[in-house]
């Protein structure tokens, strides 16, 4: 059999003409010729009760690129005619195949990428030192390479794709919004969970907070985290999690130790640290640069202890947040493996590094007009108790889109999940089939309204079995024995 050549310049023509395409043998996908990419493996394996064609590809769009991607295509009639590309997490380094199973069992062809480098440690960015093309691959190019190769291979194997989606959380959420902004015609629908779309600002927020936490007496240990959580919950509803965090105005300053008091309070350095956690990053004039975290889950396992404080002061800098930020400034911002972000001047030096990173990594443009014009639909979600990416940053983005484009609800809806941590977990129920909701919106015009999130898998003890989620700016309010969505009245 001659090689199957699918140049990307003729991709649209190929897709149009393959609606009645007879399925090509999986192994023959190794013969498909792609621009600057090679199919290295194509084998059929079982995934649950389905036989799946698993394809491995290496793409090298530049001399320094080494982008690995995987594509799984259900065999025969098990394919539903649709394709979903999944985003990565952290600084990537491996293809997120652990997430492929669910969509494949639902009938989707699924792909993902390692974002252009291979590293088992997702917080490590040393691969970026001296490799600016790899940083671009991580920022956005690996996404496009994966999309084009995946669509071409599905076309060669199956024929026409009826709908294409992108779904990711955390860095994958950043990637999701990058797709909507940079490549608006590539996907019919997108799910962006807890997006790190202001990635450069996240690193700055962590630097401010960690500089305070590592000062003498500034560390927040387990007793302090328990005190903060207990007080915030009591002040803001008295339940196992805060139902309406936007209405909660918790001030840790009231927990300051009184003269002679040693227990059940915060020292002055601890108060300063706690305030920075909630208040965020401000400039010298007091203007808010980037929002902080929301109260109510400080002591939940997998929350601050995993992302911000570490289990104790000795392991503080091994927590995920400090690890990401330290690596980012060393390898993205300053190209200096010995750079210490804990000593960084948060004025001009920081701003220079931030701008350098933002140009490649951030996906913060509020102009989604091209995505809307092509009929695209976007669902964004974020846990209100996310300890990795402040949920209010999602509000900032939504409001920027609204100010730029007017009411976006005909194509863009956002859900904030009370009590949920980063991408899942926490006391608040947060399990939702976002892909199914997106598909219903795209294929049937059924826009999501009130959504029921369930508990169980990944849920911390103490929460209810389910909760109602509302499209922003709606909030679930209790009426009798149930909850219903209502839009809070604006003050003034």
Write the pLDDT tens digit of every residue in 342-360: 999 999 999 999 999 999 9
Measured distance CA(157)–CA(159) in Å, rounded: 6
User: Is-cis flag, bond preceding 479, omega within 30?
Assistant: no
Residue 443 has pLDDT above 70, yes or no: yes
What's the average model confidence in pLDDT over 167-195? 98
Average pLDDT of 216-242?
Answer: 97
Q: What is the pLDDT of residues 253-267, one digit of tens each?
A: 999 999 999 899 999
Chain segment 420-431, per-residue pLDDT in tens: 999 999 999 999
Which H or E element spans position 83?
strand 82-86
- pLDDT, tens digit, for every residue of 71-111? 999 999 999 999 999 999 999 999 999 999 999 999 999 99
Q: Can you tell me the distance from the alpha carbon of 14 to that of 58, in angstroms, rounded to the nearest whole number? A: 22
Mean pLDDT of 178-197: 98
b/e per residue 207-220 (b: at least 16 CB within 10 A)? bbbbbbbeeeebbb
pLDDT for position 3:
45
Q: What is the pLDDT of residues 393-403, one digit of tens each?
A: 999 999 999 99
Residues in the chain: 492
pLDDT beyond 70 at 16: no
**Coil, helix or strand for 192?**
strand
This prediction has a pTM of: 0.94
- pLDDT on residue 456: 85
CA distances from 148 to 12, 48, 132, 153, 202 (A): 11, 27, 22, 9, 30
């Amino acid at each position: 059999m001659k090689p199957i050549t699918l140049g990307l310049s003729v991709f649209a023509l190929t897709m149009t003409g393959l609606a009645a395409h007879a399925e090509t043998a999986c192994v023959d996908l190794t013969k498909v010729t792609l621009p600057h990419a090679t199919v290295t493996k194509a084998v059929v394996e079982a995934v649950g009760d389905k036989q799946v064609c698993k394809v491995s590809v290496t793409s090298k769009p530049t001399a320094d690129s080494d982008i690995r991607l995987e594509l799984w295509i259900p065999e025969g009639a098990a394919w539903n005619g649709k394709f979903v590309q999944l985003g990565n997490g952290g600084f990537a380094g491996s293809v997120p195949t652990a997430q492929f199973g669910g969509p494949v069992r639902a009938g989707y062809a699924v792909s993902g990428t390692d974002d252009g480098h291979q590293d088992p440690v997702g917080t490590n960015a040393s691969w970026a030192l001296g490799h600016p093309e790899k940083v671009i691959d991580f920022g956005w190019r690996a996404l496009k390479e994966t999309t084009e190769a995946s669509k071409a291979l599905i076309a060669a194997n199956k024929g026409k794709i009826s709908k294409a989606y992108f779904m990711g959380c955390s860095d994958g959420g950043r990637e999701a919004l990058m797709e909507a902004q940079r490549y608006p015609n590539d996907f019919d629908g997108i799910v962006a969970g807890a997006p790190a779309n202001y990635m450069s600002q996240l690193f700055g927020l962590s630097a401010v907070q960690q500089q305070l936490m590592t000062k003498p007496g500034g560390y927040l240990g387990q007793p302090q985290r328990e005190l903060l959580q207990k007080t915030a919950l009591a002040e803001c509803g008295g339940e196992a999690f805060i139902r309406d965090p936007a209405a909660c105005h918790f001030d840790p300053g009231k927990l300051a130790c009184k003269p002679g008091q040693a227990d059940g309070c915060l020292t002055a350095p601890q108060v300063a640290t706690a305030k920075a956690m909630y208040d965020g990053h401000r400039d010298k004039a007091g203007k808010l640069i980037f929002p902080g975290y929301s109260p109510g889950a400080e002591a939940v396992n997998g929350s601050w202890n995993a992302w911000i404080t570490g289990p104790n002061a000795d392991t503080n800098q091994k927590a995920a947040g400090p690890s990401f930020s330290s690596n980012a400034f060393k390898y993205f911002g300053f190209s200096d493996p010995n750079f210490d972000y804990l000593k960084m001047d948060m004025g001009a030096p920081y701003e220079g590094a931030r701008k350098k990173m933002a140009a490649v990594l951030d996906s913060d443009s509020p102009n989604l007009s091209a995505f809307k014009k092509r009929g695209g639909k976007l669902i964004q979600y974020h846990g209100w108790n996310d300890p990795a990416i402040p949920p209010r940053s999602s509000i900032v983005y939504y409001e920027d889109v609204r100010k730029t484009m007017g009411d976006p609800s005909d194509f863009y809806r956002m859900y904030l999940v009370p009590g949920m941590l980063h991408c899942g977990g926490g006391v608040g129920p947060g399990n939702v089939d976002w892909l199914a909701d997106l598909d219903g919106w795209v294929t049937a015009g059924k826009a999501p309204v009130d959504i029921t999130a369930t508990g169980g898998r990944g849920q911390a003890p103490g929460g209810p079995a389910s909760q109602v989620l509302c499209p922003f700016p709606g909030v679930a309010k209790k009426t009798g024995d149930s909850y219903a969505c209502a839009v809070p009245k604006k003050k003034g």
